[in-house]
Amino acid sequence: MRVTKHEHAALVVESGGSTLVIDPGGYTEPLTDLHDVVSVVITHEHADHWTPEHLDRILGAAGPVPIFGPAGVAAAASGYDITVVAPGDRVVVAPFTLEFFGGRHAVIHESIPVIDNVGVLVDDVFYYPGDSYAVPEGKSIALLAAPAGAPWLKIGEAMDFVLAVAPRRVFGTHDMTISDLGRRSARDRLAWAVEQHGGEFFELDPGDAIEL
């Protein structure tokens, strides 16, 4: 498995010649070099995690591949055929097996409604929580994409999330809302957290990839 980080929260997972796209949103450059896309996962409805332009581009090249997301995504992206998933669901889109966790977006402020959000576990080894600290209970995670910066994020809580998941490897994502100095600081904190369990932190910039 090969996981490539793109701008902000967008991730591309490749395995067995097939591609899974996760959260192609508004802070992400066009994903143009994709091959054999078999599915798209959208963790929640916010525009920094999906846009019609990204979906149209992906579907135009790949054809009518399944798009998975929670009920809030189905409502927001009503012009698309969204397969609704919820925490506990497990689906197979060969060669990928996807399992979903969490259910709710992290709280931004008491004045802002809390929306649906699902974390996704790919092939029981790679986990991305979307905009949440949902822990995939009972799972041994080989690679975690941990959020580094957001209006809802406190770095201490992100560190606690990494400590709770205890993955073998971590890289930072959801980071276009912070400066270069802020990104450096967040990476250092997440690195400390993963190292407490003997894990390793990887500094991935857009276009960088890690092999599993």
d(CA 109, CA 93) in angstroms, rounded, equals 36
What residue ranges of the chain have pLDDT lower than 70? none
The upper half-sphere exposure of residue 13, i.e. CA atoms within 13 Å in the direction of its Cβ, equals 28
pLDDT confidence of residue 85: 98
Range of the domain at 53: 2-211
Structural domain count, the chain = 1
CATH number of 39's domain = 3.60.15.10
pLDDT confidence of residue 50: 98
pLDDT confidence of residue 68: 98
Does the predicted model carry a pTM greater than 0.85? Answer: yes
pLDDT confidence of residue 89: 98
User: pLDDT tens digit string along 141-200?
Assistant: 999 999 999 999 999 999 999 999 999 999 999 999 999 999 999 999 999 999 999 999
